Amino acid sequence: MQKRMINYETLLQVTKAISHSKDPEEVALITVESVKTALDVKGCSLFLFDRKNEELEVAASFGLSDEYLNKGPVSALKSIAQSLSEGPVAIFDVMDDPRIQYPEAAQKEGIASLLSVPIIVHGNLIGALRVYTAQPWEFTLEDVNIVQALAQIAGMAISMARYSKGLKSSIDVLKSMREAQAHRKTRRTPYEGVPVSVDAKEVVRH
């Protein structure tokens, strides 16, 4: 029960932060940092789907090295494709699952398990949110639900940013994000302390 309350608190904090931001880059950064912190995992990445090339492009990542992020094109047809068409996919051992496109790179990065959930807005796939753990992890239904919820919140926010900026697609949003990043020296969310999960002891006391 305590863990569920911690996740709900995190969800509320992130939703509030996202609602105050009209910048898709900030939305993506807040989301990946939120998931990593809430689940206390190795890292998290948010991808946007490029329909033209059938690839997933990294929009934001937290906790992973540049070397791993630049390992090569992430194919929507080869990299856990099932999670894009059928729903969340949890992989317990990245070195023993054919759905992983770059198992050696994952092993070198120190990734043991992975969870991938689709980002769907108005019935259209716009990307994916992926969680990476350093230790073998049996993802619970609660883990999957919190990641899905944050993925959908981020997806809606990015979609709204797309329309407000008159952009044609999610990849146009990604390009605008990269242009913004090129003018920044750091890639930190402006919302210090978001998310900050509630300590279980604090939950009990209150």
User: What pLDDT, in 10s, does the model give residues 6-61?
Assistant: 567 777 877 887 777 777 778 888 889 988 988 889 999 999 998 888 999 998 99
* Region 130-152 average pLDDT: 92
| Tens-place pLDDT, residues 184-202 | 544 444 444 454 444 444 4
The domain ranges of the chain are 22-182
Q: Is the pLDDT of residue 130 over 70?
A: yes
pLDDT at 122: 87
What pTM, to 2 d.p., does this model score?
0.80
Average pLDDT of the residues of the chain: 81
Write down the CATH number for the domain with range 22-182: 3.30.450.40
Per-residue confidence (pLDDT) for residue 113, from 0 to 100:
97
How far, in Å, CA of 191 to CA of 41, rounded?
Answer: 20
Can you give the pLDDT at residue 4? 53
Q: With bands split at pLDDT 50, 70 and 90, how would you rate the model's confidence at 108?
A: very high
What is the structure's pLDDT at 85?
Answer: 87
Tell me the pLDDT tens digit for each residue of 144-180: 988 998 899 889 888 887 776 666 666 776 776 666 5
Confidence of residue 125 (pLDDT cuts 50, 70, 90): very high
- Residue 11's pLDDT is what? 77
